[in-house]
Amino acid sequence: MGGRVVLITGGSRGIGAAAARRFAAGGDKVVINYCHSKAQAEALAVETGGWAVQADVSDSGQAAKMVDNVLEKFCQLDILICNAGIAQQKLFGDLTDEDWRRMFAVNVDGMFYTIRAALPHFIHRKAGRILTLSSMWGQVGGSCEVAYSAAKAAVIGLTKALAKEVGPSGITVNCVSPGVIDTEMNANLSPEDLAALAEETPLERIGRPEDVAETLWYLASDAAGFFTGQVLAPNGGLII
| Interaxial angle between packed helices 110-125 and 146-166, expressed in degrees from 0 to 180 and rounded to the nearest 10 | 10
The mean pLDDT of 34-54, rounded to a whole number, is 97
What's the pLDDT at 184?
78
pLDDT of residue 59: 98
Return the SS3 of 21: helix
Strand order, beta sheet including 51-54: 51-54, 29-34, 5-8, 79-82, 128-133, 171-176, 231-232
Residue 55, judged by CB atoms within 10 A of its CB (0-12, 13-18, 19+), counts as: buried
Q: Count CB neighbours of 49 within 10 A.
A: 10
Q: Rounded mean pLDDT of the chain?
A: 96
User: Would residue 29 be called left, alpha or beta, if left means φ above 0 and alpha means ψ between -120 and 50 degrees?
Assistant: beta
Q: How far is C-alpha 113 from the geometric centre of its chain's CA atoms?
A: 14
Looking at the predicted structure, is the pLDDT value of residue 212 above 80? Answer: yes
List pLDDT tens digits, range 146-163.
999 999 999 999 999 999
Q: Kindly report the pTM of this predicted structure.
A: 0.96
- Return the active site residues: 148
CA pair distance 3, 10, nearest whole angstrom: 22
What band does 34 get if pLDDT is binned at 50, 70 and 90?
very high
Q: How confident is the model at residue 1 (pLDDT cuts 50, 70, 90)?
A: low
pLDDT at residue 192, rounded to an integer? 86
Domain boundaries of the chain, sorted by first residue: 5-232
The percent of residues above 90 in pLDDT, for the chain, comes to 91
What are the angstrom distances between the C-alpha of 63 and each of 50, 67, 104?
A: 19, 6, 15
**Model confidence pLDDT, tens digit, residues 76-109:** 999 999 999 999 999 999 999 999 999 999 999 9
The CATH architecture of the domain made up of 5-232 is 3-Layer(aba) Sandwich (3.40)
Is-contact 67 114, C-beta < 8 A? yes
| Residue 61 pLDDT greater than 90, yes or no | yes
